[in-house]
């Protein structure tokens, strides 16, 4: 039996093309409490949910072009929970009036053998870090307030040090392609957080 043809285009049939709408901002450590109180009041009425995750970024270096990047993330608090594999595409260059960063997003839940599998596929781990913080939700919007910690010894998540003296605030929505009203809702929500934190769309390409 001959090998099945390898297609260059990703298989898209049968799944909905999901887009991630993203707004980012940051607060200093001393302003964290007031931001958390504000979010507790604005978001849905639930107990605040803390999380601690370990993320590994894998790169597949091809012969040409940019390396292909995948992000694998696992929860440190719930070790039995499945791993989460994520692909984020390039930000869409739509009209400039769109208020949030829009990019293609593929989310897959994976079992605990994910790192070995990726290694077998040819991916190499580029870097890893630990993220700790809290998650809030308002309807479909997700607000993540997190602190990024550097892993000092590879694989050892106990020894970590914070990368900065501030917390990263991300407002994201996962929606099927074509729904532009989502960015309006995100903008109005970001307005309500205005003096505490400024959430805006930050193009990752400009940072590099």
Partner 1 sequence: MMSGGPAVRVSIESTCERQVQEVSLDGMETYVPPLSMSQNLAKLAQRIDFDQSSDSDEEGPERENREPWSKPELEEDEGTVKFQPSLWPWDSVRNNLRSSLTEMCVLHDVLSVLKEKKYMALDPVSQDPAMTKTPQVFQLISKKKSLATAAQLLLKGAEKLTKSLAENQEQRRQRDFNSELLRLRSQWKLRKVGDKILGDLSYRSAGSLFPHHGTFEVIKNTDIDLDKKIPDDYCPLDVQIPSDLEGSAYIKVSIQKQSPDIGDLGTVNLFRRQPKAKPGSQMWHLKLEAAQNVLLCKEIFAQLSREAVQIKSQIPHIVVKNQIISQPFPGLQLSISLCHSTGEKKNQRASPDKSKPDDHLYVLEHNLHQLIREFHKQTLSSVVMPHPASAPFGHKRLRLAGPMAYDKAEISSLQQSEGLLEKIIKQAKHIFLRSRTARTIDSLASRVEDPQIQAHWSNINDVYESSVKVLITSQGYEQICKSIQLQLNIGVEQIRVVHRDGRVITLSHQEQELQDFLLSQMSQHQVHAVQQLAKVMGWHVLSFSNHVGLGPIESIGNASAITVASSNGEYAISVRNGPESGCKVLVQFPRSQAKELPRSDVVQDGKWIHLRGPYKEVHWGRMEGRNFVYKMELLMAALTPCP
Contacts with partner 1, residue ranges (CB under 8 A)? 43-47, 49, 51, 53, 55, 71, 73-75, 77-78, 81-84, 86, 107-111, 131, 133, 135, 137-140, 142, 144, 146, 174, 192
Q: Nearest distance from residue 96's CB to partner 1, in Å?
A: 25
Indicate the residue among 107 and 203 with the shorter CB distance to partner 1. Answer: 107
Indicate the residue among 47 and 116 with the shorter CB distance to partner 1. Answer: 47
Q: Nearest distance from residue 45's CB to partner 1, in Å?
A: 6
Indicate the residue among 44 and 92 with the shorter CB distance to partner 1. Answer: 44
Nearest to 33 by CA among 130, 134, 132: 134
Q: Nearest distance from residue 15's CB to partner 1, in Å?
A: 12
Hey, CA dihedral for 10, 128, 158, 35, is it positive or negative?
negative
- Check: CB of residue 27 under 8 Å from CB of residue 38: no
Indicate the residue among 172 and 183 with the shorter CB distance to partner 1. Answer: 172
Q: Nearest distance from residue 18's CB to partner 1, in Å?
A: 8
Q: Nearest distance from residue 159's CB to partner 1, in Å?
A: 20
Return d(Cα 164, Cα 148) in angstroms, integer: 8
Indicate the residue among 31 and 170 with the shorter CB distance to partner 1. Answer: 170
């Amino acid at each position: 039996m001959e090998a099945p043809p390898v297609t260059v285009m990703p298989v898209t049939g049968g799944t909905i093309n999901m887009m991630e709408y993203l707004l980012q901002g940051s607060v200093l450590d001393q302003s964290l409490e007031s931001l958390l109180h504000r979010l507790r009041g604005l978001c849905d009425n639930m107990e605040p949910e803390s999380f601690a995750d370990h993320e590994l970024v894998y790169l597949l270096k091809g012969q040409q072009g940019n390396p292909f990047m995948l992000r694998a993330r696992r929860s440190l608090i719930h070790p039995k929970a499945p791993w989460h594999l994520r692909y984020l595409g390039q930000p869409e260059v739509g009209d400039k009036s769109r208020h949030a960063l829009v990019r293609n997003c593929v989310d897959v839940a994976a079992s605990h053998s994910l790192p070995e599998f990726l290694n077998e596929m040819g991916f190499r781990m580029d870097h890893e870090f630990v993220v700790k913080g809290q998650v809030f939700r308002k309807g479909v919007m997700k607000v993540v307030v997190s602190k990024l910690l550097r892993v000092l010894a590879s694989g050892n998540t106990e020894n970590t040090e914070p990368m900065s003296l501030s917390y990263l605030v991300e407002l994201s929505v996962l929606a099927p392609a074509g729904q532009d009203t989502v960015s309006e809702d995100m903008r109005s929500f970001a307005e309500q957080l205005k003096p505490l934190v400024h959430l805006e769309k930050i193009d990752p390409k400009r940072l590099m």
